[in-house]
Amino acid sequence: MSEKKRALLSVSDKTGLPGFAKQLVDNGYELVSTGGTKRVIEEAGLPVLSVSDVTNFPEIMGGRVKTLHPAVHSALLAKRDNEVHMDQLRKLELDTIDVVVVNLYPFQQTIAKPDVTEADAIENIDIGGPTMLRAAAKNFHDVVVVVDPADYEAVADALQNDGLSVDMRKRLAGKVYRHTANYDAAIAAYFTERTEDDYPETYTATFEKVQSLRYGENPHQTAAFYKQANAEGATLSNAKQLNGKELSYNNIQDANAALEIVQEFKKPAAVAVKHMNPCGVGTGTKLFEAYQKAYEGDPISIFGGIVAVNQEVDLLTAEKMKEIFLEIIIAPKFSQEALDILTTKKNLRLLEVEWTKNSKNAHKLTSVSGGLLVQDTDEGNLDSVDLQVATDREPTEQEMEDLKLSWQVVKHVKSNAIVVAKADQTLGIGAGQMNRVGAAKIALEQAAAKAKGAVMASDAFFPMPDTVEAAAEAGIKAIIQPGGSKRDQDSIDACNKHGIAMVFTGMRHFKH
């Protein structure tokens, strides 16, 4: 058995490979490698053996079998302080492998390609790589395992100095198992999606860290932000921050809520959010008009709020936005003039989100103590409902427009939710109340005199006519709600009595 220390390198991502390989050679390691990796090491002018020299077995099946050999795995798994293990190695004339540098076939990147074939995806499932990584990580006391090129420098430094501490070896091993778990979760998801098994026996989603956060919802809580693998389109995890302080935990939640609401609208829209509920929503033919309406919808609550818009922020809108204290502005784009104006506010966070495609977020995950609730995201919208007029009077064209806006907003308000709106603008929002008439009272009180001639939306049906009575008293002219209560007729009768038009959507939008 040779006294020489050995390192096995087999990487798909060749970033930093020649430099790290050289440091290993300089530290007295003999290098062993697979096809493409070996070529790169040779091109760097370094001595390297082929895995086949160790296994006495060729790489076959186009690379499906190259390192999957007992000579490799015995060398990785032998415990150096176990006489039996070492004796067995000696008898089989095998050498130990002391460092393993492996990263895997790019499965996730392959399936993200729009024209990927199943055959391509399957060929990119790495088998030999994870097997070596897992073996080396299990034997971390004796084998150093490196899965991430970002660790090359620290490992090379440690090897050159006192060697790797047990702590560092353990950290590298932990990283390996997280890496292979993440990799397998992506493969599992690929098969799950293709077998229409929406809620399988285990739920194996994994997430990648975007950033550590200074604290959580409150300063005494720790927190970090993770993104879903392959999250696409208009999502917070893909947002580009152009200005301002680092995002906080609450910022991310609120910005996400604002982004989800503004995506409801096709025409220019602006949404202001406070504590995950909209406080002002406006639409218009131009963004300036939409923002102005969102602002006027509740000029008090928008202060210190988060605003999302669905159009490029232009100079005029930026000047208006600059007038008050906003925490964050989210937009598909900011014009240069808008940026020049808004970046004069050092702390104002500006987020640009890719608007080319909508985020693919099939499942909504909510943690509960000791568990996880999984459901489809609520993608129900006006295209998926069949609006039915339940009353004697039909809504006018303008009322119908306002009803649609209020319905698009109420979907995103914490239940029980009521939204009052008029002329492309919300006027009052009652959120998160334990009874529906309570939510209505808050929304109507906020709308005050403006409620006269306005419309109202309710996220769920009216179990009794008290909300209609409150609406009538405030001067509401039309109502939109799911319908479906045993006592719908009582609410219909109350509407007819007061000349209110009422429309049923047949779809509820609870949000907890």
Ligand X SMILES: NC(=O)c1ncn([C@@H]2O[C@H](COP(=O)(O)O)[C@@H](O)[C@H]2O)c1NC=O
Minimal distance, residue 127 CB to ligand X, in Å = 4
Minimal distance, residue 33 CB to ligand X, in Å = 6
Q: What is the 3-state secondary structure (H, E, C) of 274-336?
A: ECCEEEEEEECCCHHHHHHHHHHHCCCCCCCEEEEECCCECHHHHHHHHCCCEEEEEECCECH
Q: How many residues bind ligand X (CB under 6 A)?
A: 21
Separation between Cα atoms, residue 76 and residue 92, nearest integer Å: 14
Instruction: Clarify whether 441 is annotated catalytic.
Output: no
| Residues 254-272: b if buried by 16+ CB within 10 A, e if exposed | bbbbbbbbbbbbeebbbbb
Separation between Cα atoms, residue 290 and residue 303, nearest integer Å: 17
Separation between Cα atoms, residue 96 and residue 6, nearest integer Å: 7
Say if residues 260 and 282 touch (Cβ distance below 8 Å).
no
State which of positions 444-473 bind ligand X (CB under 6 A): none
Strand partners of residue 270: 282, 309
Taking CB under 6 A as the criterion, the residue among 5, 12, 44, 345 binding ligand X is: 12
**Comparison of 68 and 231: residue with beta carbon closer to ligand X:** 68
Quickly list DSSP for 52-115: HHHHSS--BGGGTBSS-SHHHHHHHH--TT-HHHHHHHHHTT-----EEEEE---HHHHHHSTT
Minimal distance, residue 80 CB to ligand X, in Å = 24
**Comparison of 122 and 372: residue with beta carbon closer to ligand X:** 122
* Structure tokens belonging to residue 187: 């493969």
Minimal distance, residue 151 CB to ligand X, in Å = 16
Q: Which residues contact 97 (CB under 8 A, 6 or more apart)?
A: 6, 7, 8, 32, 72, 75, 76, 136, 143
Minimal distance, residue 58 CB to ligand X, in Å = 11
Taking CB under 6 A as the criterion, the residue among 11, 147, 350, 419 binding ligand X is: 11
State which of positions 87-146 bind ligand X (CB under 6 A): 102-105, 126-129
**Comparison of 37 and 74: residue with beta carbon closer to ligand X:** 37
* Structure tokens belonging to residue 79: 């415990």
Q: Which residues contact 383 (CB under 8 A, 6 or more apart)?
A: none
State which of positions 32-71 bind ligand X (CB under 6 A): 34-37, 63-68
- Which range touches ligand X (CB under 6 A), out of 4-12, 202-210, 248-256, 304-312? 4-12
Minimal distance, residue 63 CB to ligand X, in Å = 5
Say if residues 238 and 279 touch (Cβ distance below 8 Å).
no
**Comparison of 126 and 327: residue with beta carbon closer to ligand X:** 126
**Comparison of 132 and 494: residue with beta carbon closer to ligand X:** 132
Minimal distance, residue 153 CB to ligand X, in Å = 21
Compose the 323-362 pattern: x for residues touching ligand X by CB under 6 A, - for all others: ----------------------------------------
**Pseudo-torsion of CA 344, 349, 350, 351, nearest 10°?**
170
Separation between Cα atoms, residue 428 and residue 289, nearest integer Å: 19
Lookup result for tokens 């702390």: 347
**Which residue of the set 14, 85, 138, 498 is catalytic?**
138
**Comparison of 9 and 309: residue with beta carbon closer to ligand X:** 9
Nearest to 425 by CA among 327, 278, 308: 278
Compose the 390-429 pattern: x for residues touching ligand X by CB under 6 A, - for all others: ----------------------------------------
Taking CB under 6 A as the criterion, the residue among 7, 10, 173, 458 binding ligand X is: 10
**Comparison of 105 and 295: residue with beta carbon closer to ligand X:** 105
**Which residue of the set 275, 286, 333, 345 is catalytic?**
275
**Comparison of 180 and 237: residue with beta carbon closer to ligand X:** 180
Minimal distance, residue 55 CB to ligand X, in Å = 10
Instruction: Clarify whether 275 is annotated catalytic.
Output: yes
Residues that are catalytic? 138, 275
Task: List contacts with ligand X (CB under 6 A).
Answer: 10-12, 34-37, 63-68, 102-105, 126-129
